[in-house]
Amino acid sequence: MEKILVGLKRVVDYNVRVQVKSDGSGVETDGVKMSINPFDEIALEEALRIRERGEASEVVVVSIGSSDAQQQLRTGLAMGADRAILVETASAIDPLTVARIFKSLIERENAELVILGKQAIDDDNSQTGQMLAAIWERPQATFASELTFADGTARVTREVDSGLETIEIDLPAVITVDLRLNEPRYVKLPDIMKAKKKPLDLLSMAELGVETAPHFKETSFEPPAGRQRGIMVEDVAGLVAALKDKGLV
């Protein structure tokens, strides 16, 4: 296969405990550490391994958003991606529009495979890959934990609620990845230096000819209803008594 596209979303870092702004207008992102969505890092790692096995010739990382996302793309290039594309948008963008952008990039780049994270850890939507596959009219293999290729097809093991499901899909296709597919490599300093010389193209929605999908209005944000800290018991007898009290054993 020629080319693999990988999506890298810039999100609030996994370790940050997100706070809702006191006026309910959003979540606090000022001065918060930003990173590549962890699932997207796994997607990139897989694409790099496919290329390193000689099963693909080029890995292109794509991000959509403000110019700040160049940071995450440079990290992707340092991990080993060949090129990067940033589609610049001023405001937050919805999954269907993201899917349309990827569809347009697939045509532009003539890509055969798109690998994405199964969800972004900010909006937890888990929609983009499936939507892209739908409008591209191609197969989707979501929640992948194992992946092999043969004769223009991919065999994908998927983590589903009831266990592990294996499907076979024809290429081209969209694959979204789960946690246990691989462990992403660490970036080494010389690679960061090298990444600075790799191409990073800027594109606009207009250049791609993409129209924005109907957007939801986000009318308010609130913190979740908290659970109260309960009682501490001293020993097993105390635990069993407390459970009996609640009629649970």
Q: Within positions 200 to 239, which residues make up the interface with another protein, using CB under 8 A?
A: 213-224, 227, 229-239
Q: Which of 60, 85, 96, 195 binds another protein (CB under 8 A)?
A: 96
Of 57-65, 67-75, 123-131, 195-203, the window that binds another protein (rule: CB under 8 A) is 123-131
Total number of residues binding another protein (CB under 8 A)?
A: 83
Residue 164 CB, nearest approach to another protein (Å): 5
Question: Which is nearer to another protein, 197 or 217 (by Cβ)?
Answer: 217
Rounded to 10 degrees, what is the CA torsion of 134, 139, 142, 145?
Answer: -160
Identify the CA nearest to 174 among candidates 10, 7, 11, 42.
7
Of 71, 174, 61, nearest to 118 (Cα)?
A: 174
> What whole-number distance in Å separates Cα of residue 148 and Cα of residue 160?
18
**Binding residues for another protein restricted to 158-197, rule: CB under 8 A:** 158-170, 173, 178-180
Dihedral angle of Cα 132, 136, 140, 142, to the nearest 10 degrees: -10
The interface with another protein within residues 19-58 (CB under 8 A) comprises 19-20, 27
Could you tell me the smallest distance in angstroms from the CB atom of residue 20 to another protein?
5
Q: How far is 192 from 198, CA to CA, in rounded Å?
A: 10
